[in-house]
Amino acid sequence: MDENRVDSHGGGMQQIVEFILELDKLKGVTRKTRPLGLERYENSAEHSWQIALMATSLAHHAGTAVDINRVVGMLLVHDIGEIDTGDTLVYAEGGWEERKAAELAAVKRIFGMLPEQQGAPFLALWREFEQGETAEARFAHAVDRAMPVLLNLANEGQSWRENGVSHERVVRRIAPPIKAGCPALWNYLEVRLEEARQKGWFGA
């Protein structure tokens, strides 16, 4: 980076612009689900947008009362590490520790592009989500886990079938976080997942 440029604009404007443009890369990180009615795969940027609105719509169902602004903040930043690491199917087993270490290095790099005053709060949100200990983080996890399930339920199990994912594996991975963060959403999904199982929408 050209130091003169940073200084001449003041307030870290050039650094902020470079950060915003770095975020563009999340639009190219694809997930395993397809948007309804589209052939392409969903990307992590549009996914982050959707779950921020999902959380806002569902806030009154959170297991514990939450500060929805912090939930939205977490959801907007939680996938940014994938700019360096790529997406991994949430049902993938193993390699979790290594993956999380790589994502931490990635977000330190990316949020480190910003002046400290702007970068530190983003990193704090990212860590809060990862640690999953606050009511806000638990609710955010519930929403993040439920979103691809809702798409699959509307898609005849597209990513479950394409990736050979069983009903039992989905329930094992998503029931605990969704129950913990948004019990009413789990009650809803449990019924829908059983219907989907009966329709043969799972793989394996």
Q: Which residues bind a copy of itself (CB under 8 A)?
A: 9-11, 13-14, 16-17, 19-21, 23-28, 35-38, 42-43, 45-46, 48-50, 52-54, 56-58, 60-61, 69, 72-73, 76-77, 114, 117-118, 121-122, 147, 150-151, 154, 184-185, 187-188
Token pair, residue 43, equals 């990307």
Angle made by CA atoms 12, 137, 83, in degrees to the nearest 5: 50
Considering beta carbons, is residue 32 or 167 the nearer one to Ca ion? 32
Given a contact cutoff of 8 angstroms between Cβ atoms, the answer to whether 168 and 125 are in contact is: no
Decide which of Ca ion, a copy of itself, none touches 151; Cβ closer than 5 to 8 Å per partner kind.
a copy of itself
> Nearest-5° angle of CA 76, CA 146, CA 66?
60
| Residue 64, H or E segment | none
At 145, is the secondary structure helix, strand, or coil? helix
Compute the 3-state secondary structure of the chain and give helix, strand, coil in percent, each to the nearest 5: 70, 0, 30
Q: Compare residues 15 and 87 and give the one whose CB is closer to Ca ion.
A: 87
CB of 18 to a copy of itself, least distance (A): 9
Instruction: Pick what 114 binds: a copy of itself, Ca ion, none; C-beta below 5 to 8 Å, kind-dependent.
Output: a copy of itself
Considering only residues 34 to 93 of the shown chain, the ones binding Ca ion according to CB under 5 A are 79
Query: Residues interacting with Ca ion, by CB under 5 A?
Result: 79, 144
